[in-house]
Amino acid sequence: MKKLMLTGLLALSMTAFGALTQAADIEGAAPDFTLKSSLQKNLRLSEQKGQVVMINFWASWCGPCRQEMPLMQEIYDKYKKFGFTIFAVNVDEDPSLADEFLKDVDVSFPILYDTKNDVSELYDVEAMPTSIMIDRDGNMRYLHKGYQPGYEEHYAKEVKKLIRE
């Protein structure tokens, strides 16, 4: 079932990519979650209050995700000293697929493993990648579905705005 869902998301994102690549202002408290991370410990979103957080849902099979990941690292490097972090939530059922991808793409922000898709379902993720910007108070502010070159400029502007608040 989950593989079917992910395959469907991939097909949908490839056939209707333009319709899915959109940004929106959103509001409301970000649902809390805890996931195992690449740091060999569990990370909890609510423990990040006081920081600006970008939650990025991605998969190893997602071409746009692969394109976006190094650009997210650049944003992370630029803004982490100002209270910004990224939770890159991988949705592959097998975490070794994410780990294999990350051998070629060096990132220093935490990778979290949502192997049962509980968190992606909690956030109603419909496209890969999906990014949600969370303010210092734990509220969702911006939602991005999909990725196209240039989106990283929008991410950086939103991070900068949220850091200044």
Assess whether pLDDT exceeds 70 at residue 5: no
Question: What is the C-alpha to C-alpha distance for residues 41 and 51, in angstroms, rounded to an integer?
Answer: 19
Domains detected in the chain? 2-164 (3.40.30.10)
pLDDT (mean) for 66-94: 97
Is 62 labeled as catalytic in the residue annotation? yes
With a pLDDT cut of 70, the percent of the chain lying above it is 86
Structure confidence by residue, pLDDT tens digits, 110-141: 999 999 999 999 999 999 999 999 999 999 99
Is 72 known to be catalytic?
A: no
Its pTM stands at 0.86
Strand 130-134 relative to strand 140-145, pairing: antiparallel
Give the tokens for residue 85: 């972090």
Tokens 């990040």 label which residue? 48
State the catalytic residue, choosing from 20, 30, 65, 98. 65
> SS3 helix, strand, coil % of the chain, rounded to 5?
40, 25, 35
